[in-house]
Amino acid sequence: MPRDEETIIRDGHFLERIPQEIRETFTDRQIAAVEQAFGRGRHGVDIRVSVPLPGGRRYLVLLLGKEQRSRERRRFERLRQPVLTAMNVIAMATMGMLIFFFAVGLAHTMFK
């Protein structure tokens, strides 16, 4: 794991979420296992941006890589976190419209 990710886990907010009396019992080996399990994975595309919007900043994450999860895990995660929620549909429609308008504007500029 790259050093910056290790620092985020050790020094950032990650371990602070664990009660101090439990956190103090962790050995270096246990912390290393947590870092490996919860650190950033290796993705072909890993884009993470924070966007200022009215009402506060929002973050956007786009990850693309080879699927490594088992069929059972994917099924469980679909049940736990379905894709077709109201906010996801709104977000996908908004992104689709932005891509469409960008493409129309680009085509209009190119064929003027």
77-94: average pLDDT:
93
Residue 39 lies in a domain: no
Asked if 8 and 14 touch (Cβ cutoff 8 Å), the reply is yes
Q: Is the pLDDT of residue 13 over 90?
A: no
> For the whole model, what pTM was predicted?
0.53
Residue 63: pLDDT above 70?
Answer: yes
Cα distance between residue 44 and residue 66, in whole Å? 8
Question: Is position 112 within any domain?
Answer: yes
Question: DSSP class of residue 78?
Answer: H
Q: How much of the chain exceeds pLDDT 70, in percent?
A: 88
Residues spanned by the domain of 106: 69-112
Long-range contacts of 73-82 (CB under 8 A, 24+ apart): none
* 23 occurs within a structural domain: no
Across the strands, what pairs with 52? 57
Q: What is the mean pLDDT of residues 40-56?
A: 88
pLDDT at 101 over 50: yes
- Domain assignment present for residue 82? The answer is yes
Please report how the helices 28-38 and 3-11 are oriented relative to each other, as an axis angle in degrees rounded to 10.
110
- Please report whether residue 73 resides in a domain: yes
In a domain, 40, yes or no: no
Confidence check: pLDDT of 75 > 90: yes
Residue 80 falls within a domain, yes or no?
yes
For residue 101, being part of any structural domain is answered with yes
